[in-house]
């Protein structure tokens, strides 16, 4: 009878230790998982499973062998979290969003675009680079202003403040852009500094896809971003036409997880509702987000799967 009672007590103890270990493991897992390389097989994130199990069993062992030490660590952790929360270094809101990001299903919300690459010569590259006058004082001043015009109240949720500034730049340029055609049978490239002057007339930018790409590239480049311009072709009304659009470098596949979460749940939740985030991954594993004007949020759907040529600004 006593042996049976002791066995039940041991079972209860093991269960309680397991539950407590899981609860204690989760915050540490949330802080660490984003720094581990992606290991995925058949859609299953093995890196998440392996990391959590390692933290769980380490926590379980410590609880079983050194409970006072674990309790001390737990109390110290709560004290640190309290201090960082009230000093706005790492708040409870950050913790909530990190936890939400962990639960966020990336596979259903992002789509790596498959492209047909032609690797042709990028025509008029010299003229385009000259038009992207990102060092011009007026371009620099305007770019820095619009970089901090939007999303500042939630900027602390992003581990990289540059992303927030890129998104703010996109919102401002996209919101004020009106498409106007070039002269017939001609390519007219408006310098970014000249395009900014159009705001004095009616608070609107005017131009075609080339002018938009130039303006976006100059603004992003001016605030420390990396941009590439891509030439493509698409069929409209039975006719093949050319198009150019910008892509902005956001980091690697791990960074993409946070960027997609921020776009879908924080910065462009209404605009991207029910839609995917589209991106291009280069041969070095870096992720470039579509900044074209075909949708009202960064990462909108590509207009064409063809990449005729590209240049990095």
115 lies in the same domain as 259: yes
The answer on 40 and 146 residing in a single domain is: no
Residues 149 and 293 reside in one and the same domain: yes
Q: How far apart are CA 266 and CA 12, in angstroms?
A: 42
3-state SS string over 132-191?
A: CCCCCHHHHHHHHHHHCCCCHHHHHHCCCHHHHHHHHHHHHHHHCEEECCCCCCCCCCCC
| Contact of 226 with 249, CB cutoff 8 Å | yes
Specify the higher pLDDT residue, 309 or 38: 309
Res. 185 pLDDT band, cuts 50 70 90: confident
Q: What is the pLDDT of residue 3?
A: 54
pLDDT at residue 173 greater than cutoff 60: yes
Number of folded domains in the chain? Answer: 2
Q: What pLDDT, on a 0 to 100 scale, did the predictor assign at position 100?
A: 64
Bridge partners (DSSP) of residue 110 are 277
Domain that holds residue 138: 111-312
Q: Per-residue pLDDT for 133 more than 60?
A: yes
Last residue of a domain, one of 76, 103, 130: 103
Radius of gyration of the chain (CA): 25
Question: Is residue 97 located within the same domain as residue 117?
Answer: no
Of the candidates 103, 133, 162, which is a domain's last residue? 103
Which positions ≥6 away from 96 have C-beta within 8 Å? Answer: none
Rounded to whole angstroms, what are the CA distances from 141 to 118, 192, 218? 37, 12, 12
% of the chain with per-residue pLDDT over 90: 47
Q: Are residues 287 and 271 in the same domain?
A: yes
Verify that 87 and 153 share a domain, yes or no: no
73 in the same domain as 121: no
Cβ burial 46-77 (10 Å sphere, 16+ → b, else e): eebeebbeebbeebbeebeeeeeebeeeeeee
38/120 same-domain check: no
pLDDT for position 231 = 93
Mean pLDDT of 79-90: 74
Give the other-Cβ count within 10 Å of 190's Cβ.
22
pLDDT at 114 over 90: no
Mean pLDDT, all residues of the chain? 84
In the predicted model, is pLDDT for residue 194 greater than 60? Answer: yes
Nearest residue to 292 (alpha-carbon basis) of 281, 303, 282: 303
Looking at the structure, tell me whether residues 52 and 182 fall in a common domain. Answer: no
pLDDT tens digits for range 242-291: 899 999 999 998 888 889 989 998 999 999 988 999 999 998 989 999 99
- The DSSP secondary structure of the chain, one letter per residue, reads -HHHHHHHHHHHHHHHHHHHHHHHHHHHHHHHGGGSPP-EETTEEHHHHHHHHHHHHHHHHHHHH-HHHHHHHHHHHHHHHHHHHHTTSS-HHHHHHHHHHHHS-GGGTEEEPP-EE-----TTHHHHHHH--TTSHHHHHHHHHHHTSSSGGGGGGSS-HHHHHHHHHHHHHHHTEEE-PPSTT------HHHHHHTHHHHS-EEE-HHHHHHHHHHHHHHTT--EEEEEEEEEETTEEEEEEEEEEEEESHHHHHHHHHHIIIIISTTTTTT-PEEEEE-TTS-EEEE--TTSSSTTPPPS-SEE-EEEE-
Residue range 147-159: mean pLDDT, rounded: 92
Residues 75 and 195 in one domain: no
**Dist. CA 236–CA 242, nearest whole Å:** 10
């Amino acid at each position: 009878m006593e042996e049976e009672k002791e066995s039940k007590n041991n079972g209860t103890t093991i269960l309680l230790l397991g539950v407590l270990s899981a609860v204690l493991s989760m915050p540490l897992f949330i802080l660490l998982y984003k720094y581990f390389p992606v290991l995925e097989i058949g859609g299953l994130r093995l890196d998440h499973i392996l990391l959590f199990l390692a933290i769980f069993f380490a926590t379980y062992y410590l609880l079983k062998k050194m409970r006072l030490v674990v309790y001390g660590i737990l109390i110290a952790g709560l004290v640190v979290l309290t201090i960082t929360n009230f000093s706005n270094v790492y708040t409870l809101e950050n913790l909530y969003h990190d936890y939400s990001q962990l639960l966020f299903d990336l596979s259903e919300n992002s789509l790596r675009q498959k492209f047909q690459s032609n690797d042709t010569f990028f025509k008029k590259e010299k003229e385009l680079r000259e038009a992207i006058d990102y060092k011009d004082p007026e371009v620099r001043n305007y770019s820095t202003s619009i970089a901090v015009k939007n999303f500042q109240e939630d900027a602390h949720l992003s581990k990289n403040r540059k992303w927030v500034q890129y998104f703010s730049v996109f919102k401002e340029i996209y919101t004020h852009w009106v498409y106007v055609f070039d002269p017939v049978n001609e390519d007219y490239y408006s310098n970014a500094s000249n395009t900014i002057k159009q705001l004095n007339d009616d608070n609107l930018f005017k131009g075609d896809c080339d002018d938009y790409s130039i303006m976006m590239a100059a603004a992003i480049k001016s605030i420390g971003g990396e941009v590439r311009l891509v030439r493509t072709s698409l069929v409209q009304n039975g006719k093949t036409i050319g198009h150019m659009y910008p892509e902005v470098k956001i980091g690697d596949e791990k960074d993409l997880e946070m960027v997609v979460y921020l776009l879908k749940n924080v910065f462009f939740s209404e605009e991207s509702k029910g839609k995917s985030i589209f991106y291009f991954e280069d041969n070095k594993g870096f992720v470039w987000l579509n900044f074209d004007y075909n949708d009202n949020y960064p990462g909108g759907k590509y207009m064409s799967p063809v990449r005729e040529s590209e240049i990095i600004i």
